[in-house]
Structure 1
Amino acid sequence: MSIFKAHLSQMGAYRPPLEGRSPQRHTLLDFNERTIPVSEHVVQALTDYIHSGSLQTYPHYGDITEQLANYCGVNPEQVMITNGSDQGIDLIIRASCSAGDEAIIPGPSFAMYTQCAKVENLHIIEPQYSRENGFPTQEVLAAITDKTRVIVISNPNNPSGTEVSREDILKIASAAPGCTVLVDECYFEYTRATVSDALEQHRNILVTRTFSKTWGLPSIRFGYVLSAAENISALLNIRGPYDVNQLALVAARAALDHPEYTHSYVSEVMNKSKPMLEGWLKERNITFWPSSANYLWIFFKNPEDINKELIKENILVRPKADRDGNPGLRITIGTLAQTEKLISCLNKFA
């Protein structure tokens, strides 16, 4: 007999295929990360801290919430830092729900949403995205009941890259005023789409963001939550006092002090690399989902074979099937040079 909640033994762990990945050996187009190293400013800040003789002390957060508030255009009391955005997602769902409550999580989407919901033993409603119609707004609205406690909106969605309109997000928040609306904006720097300016008018909205994508810092686990001050205060009662490590704070501060390295990378990906790959796919009538982010969900005629050939070329992408089981490949878009290499390889066998 398990000493834990009975339903946990029926779950499966979320195990992303990380084994054997190497930025020295591979072109990593599989996890939507920044595909090149971070700036020297970040590296130097981390090096200086390591040599400062302070590793033996507990983290002290200082003015990081003020710095993030300034970046996001909100008040400091509307910001909470987290151990990656995954912790923010987990805390929000834990704070909002009890066993048996309903969660609306449109799919297919990021696996952590359902993982966190299943830990809380929630009943999950999954309206489906479609390539033709995008986000299932009407289905989400129709699914709201008095049992609904959380609605998750990934903007843009992963793996499809679908952007959800501001109008639709606010419509959903208005339709469920007693329900948490979790808006995951982890790709914000690519889209600039946000509802962070609507937190006072819609106090049931909570936004999660991360430094794991455009900022290129997934290994240090730094994210944050934006919401009305009373929501942040409640979440701080759950988050531990030292959950975010000091190296994450050092790196995040250095990144925010020198945003140009992120802006230039985003510009290259979105204005050069992405149009190049989209153009190549359109020329060959290869199906892909419209995306506002740094990745494309592509449905080749022979995706398994293409994936095997790309691995031989040391290019890693992410197999992702759609709701009907049709196999696709989600491909992260990197620099212009990396995209040229990808297309050169695809020309051989796609």
Structure 2
Amino acid sequence: MSIFKSHIAAMSAYKPPLEGRDPKDHLLLDFNERTIPVAEPIRKALEEFVNSGRLQMYPSYGNITDRIADYCGVQSDQVMITNGSDQGIDLIIRSACNAGDEIIIPGPSFAMYNQCAKIENLSIIEPHYTRDGGYPLAEVLAAITDKTRVIIVSNPNNPCGTLVSPQDILALAKAAPEAAILVDECYFEYSKTTVAEYVGSYPNLLITRTFSKTWGLPSIRLGYIISAAENINALLNVRGPYDINQFGVVAVEAALDDVVSTESYVDEVMEQAKPLLENYLNAEGIPFWQSAANYIWAFPENPDQLNEKLIAAGILVRPKADAEGRIGLRITVGTVTQVEHLIGVLKS
């Protein structure tokens, strides 16, 4: 008999396929990461911190919240840093829900939403994205009840890259004023779409973001929540005082000193490399979902065989099933050179 809650003991862990991922041996196009190393000022800042004699001290966050708020165009009291955006998602769901409450998670989507919901023993409502219809807004609106406590808007969604308009998100906020509208904007720098300007007007809007994706810092785990000040104050009661490590703060400070480097990488990915891959897929008649992020979910006729060939060629992508169980390959878009290499392997 387990000493833990029965529903937790019966769960399975979220185990992303991390084994064997070596950037020296593979072109990593499987986890939607930045595909080139971080900017040199970030590496140098981390090296200086290691040599500063402060590793034995507890983290001291300084004005990092102010700097992130300034970057986002919101007030400092509308921002809270978290241990990656995963912690932000977990904190919001834990704080908003009791066992038996309902959460609406349109799928397929990021596995952590379901994982956090199952931990809290919630009832999960899961309308489906479609390639033609995108986010199932009508179905989500119809699913709202007096037991709905959280509605997930992954914007853009992973794995399909579908974007939800701010107007549709605000429609959800109006339709479910007692529910938290959790808008996951972890790919914001790619999509350039946000509802951050509305958090002061809609107290049930909560946005999660991260420095893992565009900025290339997933290994040191720093994300943040944007929401109304009263929500931030409540969530600070749940987050631990030292949950975010000092490495993350040091790296993000350096990253915010050099936003241009990140913007340059984003421009190459979205304006040059991504159209290159889309044009190839179109020319080959391979269907794919229109994406507002740095990845494309493509559906070749022989995905398993193609994936094996890509692995043999040293390229990792991520097989993902749609709502009907059809396997597609979610491909991270990197630099122009990397995409040209991928296309060359696909052609062969």
Q: What TM-score bracket applies, with the shorter chain setting the length?
A: over 0.9
Structure 2 partner of 1:197: 197
Output the CA distance in 2 between the equivalents of 1:216 and 1:144: 37
Residue 220 of structure 1 pairs with residue 211 of structure 2:
no
Count of equivalent residues: 348
Structure 2 partner of 1:268: 268
RMSD between aligned residues: 0.5
Residue 248 of structure 1 pairs with residue 255 of structure 2:
no
Structure 1 partner of 2:145: 145
Structure 2 partner of 1:13: 13
Structure 1 partner of 2:2: 2
Output the CA distance in 1 between the equivalents of 2:133 and 2:58: 49
* Amino acid of the structure 1 residue aligned with 2:28: L
Q: Cα deviation per residue 1:63-102 (whole Å; 9 max; x = unaligned)?
A: 0000001000000000000000000000000000000000
Shift of residue 9, structure 1, vs aligned partner: 1.7
Structure 1 partner of 2:295: 295
Shift of residue 200, structure 1, vs aligned partner: 1.1
Matched ranges for 1:1-350 at <5 A: 1-348=1-348
* Amino acid of the structure 2 residue aligned with 1:342: L
* Amino acid of the structure 2 residue aligned with 1:305: Q
Which consecutive unaligned segments of at least 5 residues does structure 2 have?
Answer: none
Shift of residue 56, structure 1, vs aligned partner: 0.3
Shift of residue 2, structure 1, vs aligned partner: 1.1
* TM score, norm. by length of structure 2: 1.00
Output the CA distance in 1 between the equivalents of 2:133 and 2:90: 29
* Amino acid of the structure 2 residue aligned with 1:164: V
* Amino acid of the structure 1 residue aligned with 2:306: I
Output the CA distance in 2 between the equivalents of 1:232 and 1:300: 44
Shift of residue 260, structure 1, vs aligned partner: 1.3
Output the CA distance in 2 between the equivalents of 1:204 and 1:239: 19
Output the CA distance in 2 between the equivalents of 1:133 and 1:180: 24
Output the CA distance in 2 between the equivalents of 1:335 and 1:44: 23
SS of residue paired to 1:287:
coil
Shift of residue 252, structure 1, vs aligned partner: 0.6
Shift of residue 261, structure 1, vs aligned partner: 1.3
SS of residue paired to 1:149:
strand
- Percent of aligned positions that are identical: 64
* TM score, norm. by length of structure 1: 0.99
Output the CA distance in 2 between the equivalents of 1:134 and 1:247: 38
Shift of residue 145, structure 1, vs aligned partner: 0.1
Output the CA distance in 2 between the equivalents of 1:53 and 1:190: 37
Shift of residue 311, structure 1, vs aligned partner: 0.3
Shift of residue 24, structure 1, vs aligned partner: 1.4
Output the CA distance in 1 between the equivalents of 2:14 and 2:213: 19
- Structure 1 segments, 4+ long, off by >3 Å, are none
Output the CA distance in 2 between the equivalents of 1:125 and 1:146: 14
Shift of residue 297, structure 1, vs aligned partner: 0.4
Output the CA distance in 2 between the equivalents of 1:281 and 1:20: 28
Output the CA distance in 2 between the equivalents of 1:43 and 1:89: 28
Shift of residue 43, structure 1, vs aligned partner: 0.3
SS of residue paired to 1:344:
helix
Output the CA distance in 1 between the equivalents of 2:25 and 2:220: 21
